[in-house]
């Protein structure tokens, strides 16, 4: 009985991590671009191409993270786990390239939740 309780609790925690990680990544990507372009304490320079590409990748990763939560709520744990691992890895690499620790924190939450989904993939009812 306690194993089923802990399984349910861990899957609920994974759902929260999917939502929280995706929200952090999306908010950081959307709010980071205007802050980077109008920051007053540096010389005005054009927005680098890599910053635009990283922003597009993080926004797409956040949207797919919300999709992983949707798949998890439909009890498709294996698909949500595999997709979440890929999204989390892409977001971590994007965060390292762009130098954004908040995106990396959200990506780690997505990686943790996708690992939990993948571990409990066969026990879904």
Q: Which residues of the chain have pLDDT under 70?
A: 1-4, 34-47, 123-125
Residue percentage of the chain with pLDDT more than 70: 83
Question: Quick one: pLDDT at residue 93?
Answer: 94
Please spell the DSSP secondary structure of 15-29, one letter per residue. HHHHHHHHHHHHHHH
Task: Quote the crossing angle between the two packed helices 101-119 and 2-37, to the nearest 10°.
Answer: 160
Question: Quick one: pLDDT at residue 61?
Answer: 92
> pTM of the prediction?
0.83
- Cβ neighbour number for residue 83 with a 10 Å cutoff: 19
Task: Quote the crossing angle between the two packed helices 77-98 and 49-73, to the nearest 10°.
Answer: 160
């Amino acid at each position: 009985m306690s194993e089923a309780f802990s399984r349910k609790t861990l899957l609920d925690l994974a759902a929260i991590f999917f939502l929280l990680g995706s929200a952090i990544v999306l908010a950081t990507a959307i709010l980071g671009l205007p802050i980077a372009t109008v920051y007053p304490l540096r010389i005005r320079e054009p927005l680098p191409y890599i910053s635009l590409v990283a922003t597009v990748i993080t926004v797409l990763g956040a949207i797919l993270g919300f999709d992983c939560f949707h798949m998890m709520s439909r009890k498709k744990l294996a698909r949500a786990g595999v997709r979440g691992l890929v999204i989390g890895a892409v977001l971590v690499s994007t965060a390292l390239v762009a130098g954004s620790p908040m995106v990396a924190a959200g990506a780690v939450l997505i990686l943790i939740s996708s690992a939990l989904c993948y571990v409990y993939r066969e026990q879904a009812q």
